[in-house]
Structure 1
């Protein structure tokens, strides 16, 4: 009888740990998706400025660059082994196969955003510096994200 209880307890414990791991992976996917969506939200108004569809606004540009720098420092930690690929994420297997390259892109984004934040003071410096920052996004999307 006690052997059955021991086995049942062990099975229950393993099940609880497995369920916790699944929940943690789901949470990390949601967390990284939230931060990546913040990139998109920050980029939209700035993209309009680059295209001449919206007037230049330094505060909006600086806010976007601050978002890039802040989130780029956190995002590499939100792609742990086992958190993709899967049905709830657009991350390709290359994220984990080329993890050092993937993490380095976020480091470059943070660095470029910080440098651009200091360099951009007017519309001319914005148009000269901002495209280089968002090129990091395209590089990552081309290599590490499923095409829609």
Structure 2
């Protein structure tokens, strides 16, 4: 009996410590901003490749697509309820239409994975990649404040 009580008390204390040490809203905002900045940094040279102002680099395209696939799974978790205020450009529509918002990241991940498998040369890149980045625009149009 004493062991069970001690174990329950210890579990309660651990739960309280974990709950109070969870990232604050500002930390979640900074984390998602950092990941989205990585998206932008990875995409910028790819845009140049699409326009023909930067030489095609298959390895760089694949790295960007790998980043999209990985981070598209993580990013929806970085928009928990209550993290819409502070230093953020996230619109309230994210939380009022969270299912659509999350589905857009899932589609980005799926489209990026398909493009990663399909893109083997510049011609396939130019045919496939624009569809992937269209996902970004859809989210920005609906869920991000315009600057």
For normalisation by structure 2, the TM-score amounts to 0.84
Q: Which residue of 1 is the match for residue 118 of structure 2?
A: 119
Structure 2 CA distance for aligned equivalents of residues 133 and 44 of structure 1 = 14
Moved more, 20-29 or 87-96: 20-29
Structure 1: stretches of 5+ with no match in the other structure: 1-16
The alpha carbon displacement at 1:75 in A equals 0.3
The alpha carbon displacement at 1:23 in A equals 5.6
| 1:7-86 pair list within 5 angstroms | 24-84=24-84, 86=85
Partner SS, residue 24 of structure 2: helix
Structure 1 CA distance for aligned equivalents of residues 108 and 23 of structure 2 = 29
Structure 1 CA distance for aligned equivalents of residues 21 and 141 of structure 2 = 29
Partner SS, residue 121 of structure 1: coil
Structure 1 CA distance for aligned equivalents of residues 23 and 117 of structure 2 = 40
What is the alpha-carbon root mean square deviation over aligned residues?
Answer: 1.5
Structure 1 CA distance for aligned equivalents of residues 96 and 72 of structure 2 = 19
Partner SS, residue 83 of structure 1: coil
Partner SS, residue 67 of structure 1: helix
The alpha carbon displacement at 1:142 in A equals 0.1
Q: Which residue of 1 is the match for residue 6 of structure 2?
A: none
Following TM superposition, the consecutive aligned residue runs of length 4 or more in structure 1 with deviations greater than 6 angstroms are none
The alpha carbon displacement at 1:87 in A equals 3.4
Structure 2: stretches of 5+ with no match in the other structure: 1-16
